[in-house]
Amino acid sequence: MQYQEALELVRRHGQEHLLQYYGELEEEGKKKLLDQIARLDWGLLDLLKSRKSTEASKGHLEPLGALEVDEIERRRDYFESVGTKALQDGKTAAVLLAGGQGTRLGFDKPKGTFCIGVNRELYIFQCLIQNLMDVVRKVNAWVPLYIMTSEKNNEETIAFFEEHAYFGYHPDFVRFFKQEMAPSVGYDGKILMEGKDSISLSPNGNGGWFGSLQKAGYVEQMKEAGVEWITVFAVDNVLQRINDPAFIGAVIDSGAECGGKVVRKADPNERVGVLCLEDGRPSIVEYYEMTEDMIHLRDEKGNLLYNFGVILNYMFRIDRLEAIAGKTMPIHIVEKKIPHLDESGALIKPKTENGYKFEALVLDMIHLMNSCCSYEVVREREFAPVKNLHGVDSVDTARALLLKNGVEL
Ligand code: UTP
């Protein structure tokens, strides 16, 4: 794109400031900026103008229940045998979502490289790999692992894995791919700049993972290798159990198109997304979308009916993912702390939220499936998210839970 064309484009959208420093830039910087402008998704700004995301309001909601821990224990041997066979036959692959920026943690490197150990080195990535290694040892087969990064953290993530010899994982079974980026905007709707030659672009949410995986050519690779199921999970849960045979087996046995691990709510008002049915299809209802009545609804035994919160650990049938690949996902407008240039051109790293990012979310893929196996896991054993440094879902709480599970820190 040439300067004049870019100028007209930014003017049309009221974003002239993007070219404010153009005259000061070297040739390379000029080209970079024009390229970024050419690739911007202007439709996102229209969303902001109408002040609402494309999240549709929820349809008719009903509880979904779950395959509960007691029943899983009773049928564990069977589920494990089904899962083990699928793992040994190479029917599963795992996708680790590590493209986020972890702004709440306030750590400026990839979140997986954060050391959760106290007296020894124990990194978040290491915890996840060690848990996956348990499966590899148990079934005696490697699980292909695809790690999603972003433009912002790809190189650092790869370098970290190489530096640590993949924490013992077989490098031939690890692949990295990058997700797409979207512009960040201030509260006034102006796109933020993070350098004189660069627009503030941030990863476009974890919902675009399948499209990015396809673009990288890895879906074809998986299918050629006979993969039928993909598990997908968050980087920040240090107790995350990935591709464990019982879960894989239970989801396959259920005949559902996808599965999701869930934990029993700690209390009715816990701020988690709950797996339920919406207009007869699986769906995740956020805590703020539930009415007071729904929150407290109980069955005849006194159990909450909307009781099972998701922990970002899902499993999808690959053919169903391909079938929904072209569908538009809702875009969520999320408030975040976004580094940006101020009027004087100085880089500011804000301590409080200062604008919006646009994100598609993996949880919205669940509603595009016809059926979902909701699979209960024990919270203290499988759910220790690291979102913040202290307080709820923090480094402190995750450390306490790791200790409880016998992990040396
Ligand atoms: P979060 O929703 O916690 O977002 O991600 P985040 O960006 O990591 O952290 P905050 O909100 O800025 O503090 C949940 C999971 O989804 C991944 C994250 O890496 C994490 O595993 N994710 C999130 C992506 O892979 N890409 C994204 O664009 C966003």
pLDDT, tens only, 4-13: 999 999 999 9
pLDDT digits (tens, 9 = 90+) for 134-147: 999 999 999 999 99
Gap from CA of 166 to ligand 1 centroid (Å): 22
Atom of ligand 1 nearest to the CA of 105: 13
Q: Are 362 and 206 in contact (CB under 8 A)?
A: yes
Q: How far apart are CA 189 and CA 47, in angstroms?
A: 10
Say yes or no: CB of residue 100 within 6 Å of ligand 1. yes
Sort 137 into a burial class: Cβ within 10 Å, 0-12 / 13-18 / 19+. exposed
Q: Are 93 and 144 in contact (CB under 8 A)?
A: yes
Say yes or no: CB of residue 337 within 6 Å of ligand 1. no
Q: Nearest Cα to 161, choosing from 15, 152, 173?
A: 173
Gap from CA of 108 to ligand 1 centroid (Å): 14
Say yes or no: CB of residue 110 within 6 Å of ligand 1. no
Say yes or no: CB of residue 101 within 6 Å of ligand 1. yes
pLDDT of residue 50: 72
pLDDT of residue 288: 86
pLDDT of residue 327: 87
| Cβ-proximal residues to 42 (8 Å cutoff; 6+ apart), any chain | 13
Query: Across-strand partners of 232?
Result: 95, 314
The structure tokens listed for 113 are: 């490289």
Say yes or no: CB of residue 98 within 6 Å of ligand 1. yes
Q: Nearest Cα to 339, choosing from 167, 235, 201?
A: 201
pLDDT of residue 326: 83
Residues of the chain with pLDDT under 50: none
pLDDT of residue 306: 95
Q: Whose CA is nearest to atom 25 of ligand 1?
A: 99
Say yes or no: CB of residue 205 within 6 Å of ligand 1. yes
Gap from CA of 204 to ligand 1 centroid (Å): 10
pLDDT of residue 51: 62
Q: What pTM does this model have?
A: 0.94
Say yes or no: CB of residue 234 within 6 Å of ligand 1. yes
Say yes or no: CB of residue 258 within 6 Å of ligand 1. no
